[in-house]
Chain A
Amino acid sequence: MRFGPYLAIMKNIFKTQLTYRFNLFVEMFNPFFTLAVMWFVWSAVYNSSPTPVIGGYAFPAMITYVAIASVMRMYTWLGTENDVEQEIKTGSIISLLIKPISYPLYCFSRDTCGAGTWTLVTRTPLIIFAFLILGISGPASPVFFLSAFLGYIVNYLMTFLTAMWCFWTVGDIWGIRFARQMVSEVTSGAIVPLTFFPIWIQGVFNFLPFQAVFYAPLSIYIGVTSGNAIAGTLAMQLGWIGMLFALVFVAWHFTTRRFVVQGG
């Protein structure tokens, strides 16, 4: 396995991102709006609540949760499906397939570099604001960073799985993409902690891979998951990675077999 090509790809992606500075600049401001909305909503909820703790979360913990989630959101909204679809539609995928590199790994390097750059550049102001002005607290355990990385991988594998649909029906990806994203929004804990849902719904969500992306690392950050339970969370995430990886592997094998490139 050679990593050289993929590092070189990342380097070029990074350079490309910097060519379009304005995009990055504008995106810096977007999360402030959502965070403001969330702050007002949760203030209203907590002010009218008879207890200061709801679903295991006090108000400061809730704001921390929401702020960190909006940073994580940046690297989970990947452009993979769009990019793959464009590459197939325009046929530019040809020049990638005639190179001695793995296409899935090419996508992974491209998207990871893109997500990394975007998260770092556009979310730094938000983080600074959240820590200094809102006074959110740091992670309860440094294992959060490992767990967040595993969550990224789980999310990537799911995204690539839907992106592969492009190879089968060109240009018909929107439906499946939005379905996945909607389910992910609700069941991953990206909007509210999963403890806010009725027990039986939590039970269902725990059987889905999406909670491994947001809720698992966030509950380590907040400290809801601590001690030995952290090891269990990591094992759960690794389990999903293993399962999804096997799925991607098999699906890719069949996909390349019946690949059709558009155009002459």
Chain B
Amino acid sequence: MAYPKFTENGGLMDKMAIECNGLGKNFKQLKRKPGLKGALLGLASRKYKTIRALRNVNLTVREGEFVGMIGPNGAGKSTLIKILTGILTPSSGKAKVIDYCPYEQRQEYVQYIGAVFGQRTQLWWDLPVKDTFELLKRIYSVPDKTFRRNMKIFTEVLGLDKYMCRPVRKLSLGERMRCDLAASLLHDPKVVFLDEPTIGLDVEAKYRIREFLKERNRKGTTIVLTTHDMGDIEELCPRMIIIDKGGIIYDGPTSDVTHRITNQRALVVNFKEPPPRQITMPKGAKVVSREGDRAVINIDMKKLGVADAIRHVLRHYKVDDIATEEPSIEDTIRKIYREGIR
């Protein structure tokens, strides 16, 4: 799949930012028997079981892309991000990011990347936000000019100036996340990894952060983001990856996933009297659930018009109430987790 992308001055960016070949990661996990007896037995002998967190992941990302990763808890998203940021060594396969092997050349490599792990902070807990930024300036040797320019952008887009002098432990989650994001971008990294950056944020904070990321991506920064919020992906990422059980089960345009729902409607029917055991419907409609006097019927709009379906129901059954619903994108994705892509 090709996603040609243009830089601000019109050049075509076609260099690979990330390449993964057959990445696998196994964890050994201690098997514990429950109860006191199990705890005592654990002192003497221990059994481990192997958990395959990632299996055979192949992935390429071009420079300047904005890729969204979604998947249920424990699917392997964070493991993948940790390998790509050089914190974890894979059990098998190879990864390359901007010509570095992250886990083998970590200390040189991390100069060129930024990362936010949404559930933790890289800010100094006890000190004002400003102190963290000054420290980062020294750690990355950020020139004064770049530092001033970036701080100005952070103030304009994220409204950082209001928090700069407050100790980090006194910030709200949304405020802290804005600071964390800014901190990860202070040194103009080439590639940015964001692990659930919008987790637990309110609408305003989410909006600000999304605007900020869009702007950064326009300037050419490659961004890889994991999230549970499909809204993030729809708004930011032209390309999405669905990960489940340690493997990539979908990698393609986000629009292909969102379009799935545009041809689907659900008809929720409340019958006046108990309907016969078999509700007969024309082709293109399918009864998906029944509970007492209520039934949900899925309609494939490519085969059957919604109006025709309603007319059919009204003509053959005594109906109290009828409603159409658009399935949510979350439902669609849940279906993909369950049934795979078809």
List the interface of chain A (C-beta within 8 A of B): 2, 4-5, 7-9, 11-12, 15-16, 19-20, 90-92, 94-95, 97-102, 256-261, 263-264
Contacts and interface: CB of A to CB of B under 8 A. Distances in A.
B107 A100 contact: yes
Contacts of A7: 138
B107 A102 contact: yes
Contact of B120 (A20, A94, A101, A102): A94
Given A12-B131, A100-B110, A95 B121 contact: yes
B87 A100 contact: no
A95 B120 contact: yes
16 contacts: A2-B141, A5-B135, A7-B138, A12-B124, A16-B127, A90-B120, A92-B121, A95-B121, A97-B106, A98-B85, A98-B110, A98-B115, A100-B107, A100-B140, A260-B27, A263-B119
Contacts of B85: 94, 98
A9 B138 CA distance: 9
Contacts of B73: 264
Contacts of B106: 97, 256
B158 interface: no
Nearest 6 Cβ contacts at the A-B interface:
A95-B122, A8-B138, A100-B111, A5-B139, A16-B126, A4-B138
Contact of B139 (A8, A91, A94, A261): A8
B222 interface: no
B88 interface: yes
Interface string B124-156: 101100011011001111000000000000000
Contacts of A259: 87-89
Contact of A9 (B89, B119, B135): B135
B135 A261 contact: no
Interface in B233-275: none
Given A8-B134, A95-B120, A264-B78, A19 B87 contact: no
Nearest to B108: A100
Nearest to A20: B126
B87 A5 contact: no
A1 B86 CA distance: 21
Interface in B75-89: 78, 82, 85-89
A101 B89 contact: no
B138 A5 contact: yes
Contacts of B88: 259-261
Contacts of A5: 135, 138-139
B212 interface: no
Contacts of B135: 5, 8-9, 11-12
Given A95-B121, A98-B86, A100-B110, A15 B139 contact: no
A92 B120 contact: yes
B87 A264 contact: no
Given A5-B139, A12-B132, A94-B82, 19 more contacts: A7-B138, A8-B134, A8-B138, A12-B135, A91-B119, A95-B117, A95-B120, A97-B86, A98-B85, A100-B108, A100-B110, A257-B89, A258-B89, A259-B87, A259-B89, A260-B27, A261-B82, A264-B73, A264-B119
Given A8-B138, A264-B119, A94 B87 contact: yes
A94 B131 contact: no
B113 interface: yes
A12 B127 contact: yes
Contacts of B113: 98
**Of listed B85, B126, B132, B141, residue having the most chain A CB within 10 A:** B126
Contacts of B141: 2, 4
A12 B139 CA distance: 13
Given A2-B141, A5-B139, A91 B108 contact: no
Interface string B85-99: 111110000000000
Nearest to B118: A264
A110 to B, nearest CB: 11
Nearest to B87: A97
B229 to A, nearest CB: 16
Interface string B46-81: 000000000000000000000000000110001000
B287 to A, nearest CB: 39
Contacts of B82: 94, 261
B224 to A, nearest CB: 14
Contacts of B89: 257-259
A4 B136 CA distance: 11
A147 to B, nearest CB: 32
Contacts of A11: 135
Nearest to A90: B120
A261 B119 contact: no
Contacts of A19: 126-127
Contacts of A102: 107
Nearest to B106: A97
A170 to B, nearest CB: 11
A15 B126 CA distance: 9
A23 B108 CA distance: 38
A15 B113 CA distance: 28
B124 A16 contact: yes
Given A8-B134, A91-B117, A261 B87 contact: yes
